[in-house]
Each structure stands twice: as C-alpha cells, then as structure tokens.
Structure 1
Amino acid sequence: MALSPRLEMRQSQSLVMTPQLQQAIKLLQLSNLDLSAYVEQQLTENPLLQRGEDGEAEGDRAAPEADVATLGADALVAPDAPMASEADSPLDASYDDVFAEGNDMGSLPASASRGSLPDDGDGLEGTLSAAIGLKEHLLEQLQATKVGLDERFIIAALIEGVDDAGYLNESLEDVAERLGVELEAVEDALWVLHGFDPTGVGARSLAECLRLQCAAANRLDPAMAAMLDNLELVARRDVKRLGEVCGVDAEDIHDMIAELRRLNPKPGLAFEHDLSPPAVPDVLVRRAADGSWVVELNAEVLPRVLIDRRYLARVSAQVGPGGRARADKAYVSDCLSQATWLVKALDQRARTILKVATELVRRQQPFLEQGVRHLRPLNLKAIAEETSLHESTVSRVTANKTMATPRGVFDLKYFFTAAIASADGGEAHSAEAVRDRIKHLIDDEPPGAILSDDAIVALLKDEGVTIARRTVAKYRESLRIPSSVERRRLKAMSA
C-alpha cells in the first residue's frame, strides 16, 4: 500500500479545562487563610472589585444568601437557593481532567487571572517564620504516633487545651464530657501527650511539669519526689523542714534545689507564638431547639466581594475614541470578566462546601450525639454519590477545612473512616469502633484467661465482625497493647 499525504476531518468530544476553570477548582482546596490572601490580592489588582459589607446591596455578591442547612431526624431541609448539581457546577471535575499530563496546576497561564493563586506549599505560610509554634510541633508528633483515630481525636483535643507555656488548662473530666468518652480514655491520651517533646508539656501543675522532666532525666528518686510534693517549702527556702520531709541533709537539699532550677518550668515558651491568627472553622454545626442539626457556613471566613457597577459606568463613559480607547476598553472588559468570574467562583465554592458538610453531618449524626466511638465508616465515594459531585471534588472540598461541633473543632477529613465487613451481611462496622472493642476485650480479660489474637477474632466473629488475625494484631499494636504472651508475663509478675 503506497504512502501519501492526505487531509482528514474527525469529530470528537472532550472536556476543555480553561485556565479560569482550573483556578476555580483550585479555590475549593484553599484554606480560609489562603483564600483571604488571594481575594485581597484580587481586590488590590482589579479596580472593579470592592469589599462587600454585611447588608450592602450594591453590586454582585460573592457569598451565597442561603448559607444554612437544617438536618432533621429523617430529612434534609435545603436552603432556599438551590444547590448546583454536577451537571451545572463549574467547579466539579475529575482528577484526570485537572491533572492531565502536561497540565501543572502549580503554574497556571498568565491569562488565567490578573492575580495568581498561591502555589501548593508556598501560600500564606511561606511568609511566616521557619520556626513553628508549640501546638504545630505537638500536632506533627501526633501525626507520627501510631494510635487509633479515637485516641487521636482525644490527644488533638488535649493539644488544643495546652497554653503557650505548655500547661493543660482544661480538666480531664471536662474533656471526657465534651468528647463523650470515658475518663480513662482521656487519661491514657494524656499519658501519650506527656511523652511528646518538649518534656513536661501537658502538665496540669508546676509540680507535675517538673516531675515529668525529672523522670525523663532519671532523677525522680523518693527524695526528689518528696520535694516536688512540697514546693511551697522550696519557695520559702525552708531547708530544715525540707530535710525532714525528704530524709536528706542540708547539703543534699541545696543540690536538689539547684537541679530544680536547671529545669524549665514553662517548656512551651521555647517555641514561637502567634505565628498565624487562630484557626477559624469554615463550617458551624449546632443543635436546634427541635433536636435537628443546623449546618451553616461561618460568615467570618466568607469573602464578600462586589463588582462596583457605578465605577464601571463612570470609567466606561470616559473612554474616548482612538487607538488608545480600544486598549482601554480591552482592559476594562478584562477586569470585568475577572471580577465576574471571581464572584461566581466564590459563590459556588461556598455552596459546594455547605453541600458536602451537610451530608457529612447527616452521615455522622451518631458521633455528634454519642461521641467519638460512634463514628460510622465513610469514604469519599459515598459523599460524592449523595451530592452528585466527583470524588476528587469532595476531596478538595474537605481539604484544609474545619468544622466546629458541640464536641469540638475537627478537620473534615477526620470524619472519613475505614469500614470492616459484617459477618452476617449487615451494616459494616467502623474500623475505629472495632479497635475500641478490641481494647475493651483485652482490658476485661481475667489474669487466668489471657486472650490470644485468634481468641479475639473468634469473639468478634460472634459479635458479627469479620476480621483477620493479622488485622487484630495491627490494631492491638496501634493501641500499644503487648501480645498475649507479654500480658500473661506482666500479670503474673503483678499478682
């Protein structure tokens, strides 16, 4: 067959991702701080944009009027303004649509906007000091700690209660009541926190802070423990009385006091503070008087941007004839186009966040009502199917967003947990609920009948949970529970 050049016409369909659509999608995953920085940049560069204030009606709003949804016992009462579906949503696209080969979201074309979104990893945080604050330092250690999701929730709540000096200001009883967990679980979580750097963090008193540091230095002998129990005598420099209490002579007392002076009574002050404004939740969840759950967007973090129509009319009227007039008109048209896009993109972003958050609350009502142990198994696909969005859109919406609930402030990502199949074909079990059940089985085992991993598998199967022995071992290790052999040895020694 001879080869020769020829012309052919083909017809095909494809999704074209315009630069503005790419930016609109990226707006979804920005935190409220990064979004605020981007909007401020747009306000500076686009003369047709102005900041909207509450009650201001001039121009086009960037935040939706209907930013509240109410979740009852059986049904969802949607806001007055309809939510955009996947078919008409300019923000919804699959991962491949956005991150196709040769399409780098980190370097959008200059024509996408007069301003540019902050690159991943180089947003507002890029302007901050390289040093991090105490809570950020503790949260980084929490991420590297192998604990269950329920215990991770509790430790995160304790970290939020740590002040700048490193002390825990909230009582363990209050934390247990707020999170709906047992006091023992909070005490176990505090024990984990006490192992974090800096030594002494999470202490509830000066004596406990110094005790933790002495224990870490292997200097918590009976004499030092007695001195820490009588710090008021140290403050009064009552060496004679301290010698009687500690059972040592005056020279040893002076040496012990010198050791205490070398410790850090406020370990948290070694870290930077106020590096960034306090985190403000994106979504607020509260219980209504009739028992339903109200989900609303936090107005404090909703950018309110308007198109200044009066200024637009005045500028348009001043454009005269000639070659320069064409350039002026093109500039005004470009500014109007970008301003209109920003108003619509921010509006759609807010509606999409509310839509996803409302479905999350509906799925996780048992957690809101009964506590962390009642988290249901959930994945991105379930939320995507219910909200008519793509999974990648749901992933972007839940990234860098927080929700304030009566049980505390949580990242939206925290509400997604793995599922374990039911033995009788019923509803799947949350992995965290199964992990908690394993912990209780081991806690309740008698000294003479230590449960092996195989025995735990059999007990869980009787309760309708299908789980492999290696999974039980993995969950047990994540709970920092020793094997049956080690537990048998430990209980024999303590008997």
Structure 2
Amino acid sequence: MALAASLFLRQNQSLVMTPQLMQSIQLLQMTHVELTQFIEQEVEKNPLLEIAAGEDGRGADDPFTGDEPSHAENAGGEDSFQPDLYDNATTGSAGSAPETLDGGLDNVFPDDTGPRAADAPELLGQWKSMPGGSEDGEGYDLDDFVASRKTLRDVLNEQIPFVLTDAIDRLIAQHLVDQLDEAGYLQGSTAETALKLGKPVANIERVLARLQELDPPGVFARTLSECLAIQLRALDRLDPAMAVLVDNLELLARRDFATLKKLCGVNEEDLLDMLAEIRKLDPKPGTRYETSASEAVVPDIVVRAAPDGSWHVELNPDTLPRVLVNRDYHAAVSSRTSRDSADYAFLNECLQTANWLTRSLDQRARTIMKVANEIVRQQDGFLMHGVDHLRPLNLKTVAEAIGMHESTVSRVTSNKYMLTPRGLFELKYFFTVSIGSAEGGDSHSAESVRHRIRTMIAQETPEAVLSDDDIVDALHKGGVELARRTVAKYREAMNIPSSVQRRREKRALAKASGG
C-alpha cells in the first residue's frame, strides 16, 4: 500500500497546567499570613492593584494624604475617576505648597510647632498639659516607647566582663556563647573548642565553669542533668541525694521510685519532696529570652449557633483579602499611551493579572466555604455534644459531597482553622480514622476513642489502675472494638505512661498525702 499524506480532524481533552492555574492551586493552600504577604508583593509589582479601604476610609497602601481615598473598583464594578499621579503633582492650588515643600516653621518658631509625641503616655490621663496630651489619647505612638527585648547573648555579654578579666578568657567565653542553642545549652564540646582555639582543654573547662555561674541559672549546660544540677547548686540544694537523683533521670522517667529510693538513700516522703523541687526548675533556661514573636492563630471560618437550631458558617472578615482593580487609572493611562508601545502592553498584562487575582481570591473563598459547610454538616453531633460524638470522616466523603477532588479538599483544610462554640480547631482535626463498633452499629471516631481512654485513665484510683487489657474490655462494653496494641499506641501518643508506672506514681502520691 502506497504511503500518502492526509488530513484528519480529531477532538480530545487534556489538562494543561498553566502558570496561573498552578498559582491558583497555591493560593488555595496558603495560610492567612502567607496570603497577605503574597498580596502585598503583587500590589508592589502591579500598579492597578490596591488594598481596599479599611475602617479609617483609606487603603493600607494609599499613597495620598488628602481627605479623599484613592478611587478603585472591583473586577467588573465602576467608580469615579481617579486623577493621574502626574496631574496631582503639577496641578492644584498654591495653598497646598506647604504640604509638599519644606514650608514648616519648626526650625524658625519653636513655639508654633505641630503636635508632638507625649514623653510619658501613661501619665496623659493626669497631665493634660503634657506635650502630646489630649482627651482621646491621640498624638503619640506607643511603639515609640517600647524597649527592644534583650536576647540571651545580650544578657550574657553584659555579665561576662564582671566574671572574666583576662582578654583571652573573654575570647574563649565569646566563642562558647556563639555555640549556645535557643534553650541555652552548649552544643560544641570543650575538646573541639580547645583544638580550634589552640588552648588547653583545662582552660576551656575553667572558663566554662565560670560561665555556668551566670544568669539565667542552668545556661551553658551540656545535658539536662547538668542543667538541673547547676540550678540546684545556685539554690544550695545540690546535696548528695539530690545529685544521685539528677544523675538518674532515666529512672525518674520510668517512675522507678523503688530503685531511686535505694540509690538516694531516702524514704518515700523525702523522694517526693525532691521531685517537687525538680519540677520547679527550668529545663530550658534560654527560652525566656527568645525574641521570635509568637503569632496568634486567626480562625479562617467562624461557626455560630443560629436561632433556628442550625449553624451559621461564615468566613472571618479579618482574614478576607480586600484587593481592588483600579480600572479608571488603567483607562486614563491607556488613553495617553500608544497601542504599539511597550507601556501599553505592560498595562494590559497588569490588568489581566489583576483580574485573575481577584477571581482566584473569590474562588478560594467560595471553595473554603463549601468545605466548611460540609464539615459542619457532618460534625453536627460534635458541635452539639462534644468530642464523644465526633464522627469518623475522610477527605473522600467531603469531596464527593461538594463535587470536588480530594486533593482540593486537602489543600483547603491545610493550616486553616475553624472557631466553634467548642473552641478553635484546625480543619484537619475533624478528619479521623473510623473504628468499628462491637455491636455492628455506627463506627466511632479515633479522636473520640482517644478521649475515652484519656478520661478512663484520669478517673482511675491507685488501687484500681487500668491495664491496656482492662481498657480494651471497657471499650468493648461501650461498643468500641479495639485491639490491645492500638490502645497502647494511642496511650503512648498521648504521653500517658504504662499501668505499672502509673501505679507507682499514684501510690507514692497517695502515701505522701496520707491517703
């Protein structure tokens, strides 16, 4: 058969991952902080994007200082015309000159200067004549009076000159300070430090001993035992019995009180007193100077009880990004730009990017709402009665209910939080493994089963400590079919010791209390 060229018409479907589609997927799984940072970066790059006005009537990035905010519109909306920035700079009345030029009288007539920040804002309520004082407390910024927090290295560097006078010893001390971790522990060994500095190990040990006397007590320790020993020595409580206890922390972790009493040579009451002193110590003395600010979790979804007995689900307005597209500015600049120029192409690209971003943010909000509504519908029993009624749930169930893919639901529930009448929970919390029922009824959630185990152990007495087999039997009577190894796994995940260790601890506490 002869070969010949021919034309065919064929139709097929394919999924093309465009850069914008990939970016939309990334937006879906971003946290509130990450989304805010991304939007700020886009606003800096795109002149057509603006942050919507807040409660004060001005956007966060509003470049104007007048009374009227910049005019912008949403994707598809209309608003009044915003003058070009160049027109604002070249036109206007002469009365606005002092606002843009150095026309102030601060350096000529000091008595006629404008308002200044108060020297002591905490006294404004008592001294109205203080500069910056007013009835409403305006005219100053509290951030101007906040002192910066000292780091652990700053505190140590202030104390080193008082304990070490030799320049070489101070150099060794500075090298040891650089080896501290966030908890205040010394990471490097003295042998490595001696080899690196070319000094005898004895000199390094001597300097380290002096540094271990500094505040906070326990700093420059190499192990947990050494950290506790340093703090006990500072309190003058490191007697021989306490030293033996500190050197055998592994026995304390196993609750082996009988062996500890023999090693320390004390009775049970004295041992409990020693343990009480150990609990008062700080195992990580350097963390009190940690300067990294802890960020509070902001809920993405808020769930409230409705008057009709249902649940009202809404997005948290504090986490909703308010991005506007300034079409008036685009129209004003485009009318003055040639259609064949690079500036015109740049503006059109910015407009497309801005429209895509607003649509993606809207789609992100609607997707989160769909998933949140389905989770609330599935976990209505938990919201009404607590964790015992938490139902087993997986991503596939929610995805089929809302008509989306499991990967989309997984991205939505990552690092998103829901504020409910029961507290603040991550969306992943509501997805738990299903555990079969002993009577063949409804399955149980793994989280609710863990809660039952925790409750049973909290209610046990020293004379009736539950073993893992006892917990299995109790759960079976309650309609939960669970293996012993699974009970042990759940117990260890909740940092609950074994029945032998719990029996020792409870009996010791009961004897100390006279029970």
With normalisation by structure 1, the TM-score equals 0.53
Q: Structure 2: how far apart are the matches of 1:6 and 1:422?
A: 67
The aligned counterpart of 1:330 is 345
The aligned counterpart of 1:29 is 29
Retained in 2: the 8 A contact 1:62–1:343? no
Of 358, 361, 368, the match for 2:383: 368
Structure 2: give runs of 5+ residues left out of the alignment.
Answer: 58-68, 78-149, 153-215, 219-227, 243-280
- Residue type of the partner of 1:460? L
Deviations 1:43-95 (A, max 9, x none): 121122222236999522599xxxxxxxxxxxxxxxxxxxxxxxxxxxxxxxx
Alignment root-mean-square deviation, CA: 4.5
The aligned counterpart of 1:59 is 73
Q: Aligned with 2:335: secondary structure? A: helix
Structure 1 residues 349 and 376 mapped into 2: Cα distance closer, same or farther (>3 Å)? same
Deviations 1:335-386 (A, max 9, x none): 1211110110011011111111222222223333333444322221222122
Farther-moved stretch of structure 1 (371-380 vs 340-349) = 371-380
| Alpha-carbon shift at residue 419 of structure 1 (Å) | 1.7
Of 279, 288, 291, the match for 1:269: 288
Retained in 1: the 8 A contact 2:75–2:355? no
Q: Structure 1: how far apart are the matches of 2:503 and 2:283?
A: 39
Structure 1 residues 389 and 199 mapped into 2: Cα distance closer, same or farther (>3 Å)? farther
The aligned counterpart of 1:351 is 366
Retained in 2: the 8 A contact 1:285–1:405? yes
- Residue type of the partner of 2:332? R
Farther-moved stretch of structure 1 (282-291 vs 299-308) = 282-291
Structure 1 residues 199 and 296 mapped into 2: Cα distance closer, same or farther (>3 Å)? farther
Retained in 1: the 8 A contact 2:50–2:324? yes
Q: Structure 2: how far apart are the matches of 1:279 and 1:450?
A: 38
1:453-464 matched pairs, under 5 angstroms: 453-464=468-479
Q: Aligned with 1:318: secondary structure? A: coil
The aligned counterpart of 1:304 is 322
Q: Percent of aligned pairs with the same residue?
A: 53
Relative contact order, higher structure (CA 8 A, sep 6+): 1
Of 403, 409, 419, the match for 2:418: 403
- Residue type of the partner of 1:474? K
Deviations 1:190-229 (A, max 9, x none): xxxxxxxx999xxxxxxxxx9xx769999499xx9xxxxx
Retained in 2: the 8 A contact 1:51–1:305? yes
Q: Structure 2: how far apart are the matches of 1:215 and 1:414?
A: 45
The aligned counterpart of 2:42 is 42
Matched, 1:427 2:442: yes
Work out the number of aligned pairs and report it.
313
Structure 1: give runs of 5+ residues left out of the alignment.
Answer: 64-130, 134-197, 201-209, 225-261
Q: Structure 1: how far apart are the matches of 2:378 and 2:295?
A: 31
Q: Aligned with 1:303: secondary structure? A: coil
The aligned counterpart of 2:131 is none
1:11-410 matched pairs, under 5 angstroms: 12-53=12-53, 59-61=73-75, 219=237, 269-274=288-293, 278-320=296-338, 325-410=340-425
| Alpha-carbon shift at residue 328 of structure 1 (Å) | 3.4
Q: Structure 1: how far apart are the matches of 2:28 and 2:476?
A: 42
Q: Structure 1: how far apart are the matches of 2:234 and 2:490?
A: 28
Q: Structure 2: how far apart are the matches of 1:472 and 1:216?
A: 43
Q: Aligned with 2:324: secondary structure? A: strand
Structure 1 residues 6 and 467 mapped into 2: Cα distance closer, same or farther (>3 Å)? farther
Structure 1 residues 132 and 389 mapped into 2: Cα distance closer, same or farther (>3 Å)? farther
1:480-491 matched pairs, under 5 angstroms: 480-484=495-499
Q: Structure 2: how far apart are the matches of 1:216 and 1:398?
A: 49
Q: Aligned with 1:404: secondary structure? A: strand
Q: Structure 2: how far apart are the matches of 1:422 and 1:263?
A: 45
Retained in 1: the 8 A contact 2:371–2:409? yes
Q: Structure 2: how far apart are the matches of 1:487 and 1:264?
A: 23
Q: Aligned with 2:401: secondary structure? A: helix
- Residue type of the partner of 2:319? V
Q: Structure 2: how far apart are the matches of 1:337 and 1:293?
A: 38
Structure 1 residues 429 and 331 mapped into 2: Cα distance closer, same or farther (>3 Å)? same
Q: Structure 2: how far apart are the matches of 1:426 and 1:216?
A: 61
Q: Structure 1: how far apart are the matches of 2:408 and 2:151?
A: 31
Bigger radius of gyration among the two: 2
The aligned counterpart of 1:171 is none
Retained in 1: the 8 A contact 2:390–2:445? yes
With normalisation by structure 2, the TM-score equals 0.51
